[in-house]
Amino acid sequence: MLTKKQKDLLLFIHDRMSEGDIAPSFDEMREALKLKSKSGIHRLITGLVERGYLERLPHRARALEVKKLPEGYSPKTNDNTRAATQTREISAVIAHAANMRSLPMHGRIAAGTPIEAIRDDNTTVEIPNGMVGSGKHYALEIDGDSMIKAGINDGDTVIIKECNTANDGEIVVALVDGEEVTLKRLKRAKGKVILIPENDKYEPREFEADRVQIQGKLVSLMRTYH
């Protein structure tokens, strides 16, 4: 964290050097910061060098290079110095990270014949915050084509909100008999649970209610084009 004087001096040097390669003189720095002696400027520059904001270039008079700019500083649009470019790049990375969320990838899930989901807690996927709301979420990769009429294709990544209940008509992750996991549209009728595909090649499957456990419901989808 820079002091106000350090920040003022750094920006003064930067503004002057953005107009040319030569740093302002110590007298100019002293006058700009309204200091009584050059020794104060020496101390400020030494502090900026130690913190990595400035670099002294050897064998050159008044040779300084601004390595980075203060946190929170926004360079002018016409500022094409190396420090300004680096600041913009860092700001872009920070802004991107702030708008992203990391979700665990819980493996591949059949959208055709049910298979056991392979959970891998070491694998994650980054998604925009706007794709999910509150609550716990996880990602699954689709294996199969039984949900293509719902716009879910083989190889897609679906975002699932963890829950153990869902409404009829919602697309859910269903655990059948404690070991088979599938992604299907949910329907209940006459005490039975019906898991409905979205592909005419596949038939709905009907189960006793106690054989099916809801593990989540679909909230979003990501697709990668190759």
Q: How far apart are CA 176 and CA 119, in angstroms?
A: 16
Q: Would you give the DSSP letter of residue 180?
A: E
Q: What is the CATH class of 101-222?
A: mainly beta
Instruction: Name the residue among 156, 136, 160 with its Cα closest to residue 216.
Output: 160
Active site residue 91: no
Q: Give yes or no on whether 4-97 and 101-222 have one common fold.
A: no
Instruction: Return per-residue pLDDT of the chain as tens, 226 residues.
Output: 789 999 999 999 998 888 776 788 889 999 999 998 889 999 999 999 999 999 888 766 568 888 888 887 888 877 888 888 888 887 777 777 677 888 888 888 876 655 455 555 567 888 888 778 888 999 999 988 999 999 999 999 999 999 999 999 999 999 998 888 899 999 999 999 999 999 999 999 999 999 999 999 999 998 866 5
Chain-centroid distance of CA 226 in Å reads: 22
Active-site residue, from 7, 161, 184, 217: 184
The CA-to-CA distance between both ends of the chain, in Å, stands at: 45
Active site residue 184: yes
Any idea where the domains of the chain sit in the sequence? 4-97, 101-222
Q: How far apart are CA 166 and CA 171, in angstroms?
A: 9
- pTM greater than 0.75 (yes/no): no
- Those residues with Cβ within 8 angstroms of residue 19's Cβ, 6 or more apart along the chain or in another chain: none
User: Which CATH code for domain 4-97?
Assistant: 1.10.10.10
Active-site residue, from 7, 146, 161, 217: 146
- Those residues with Cβ within 8 angstroms of residue 165's Cβ, 6 or more apart along the chain or in another chain: 214
Q: How big is the CA angle at 48 (ends 46 and 33), to the nearest 5 degrees?
A: 90
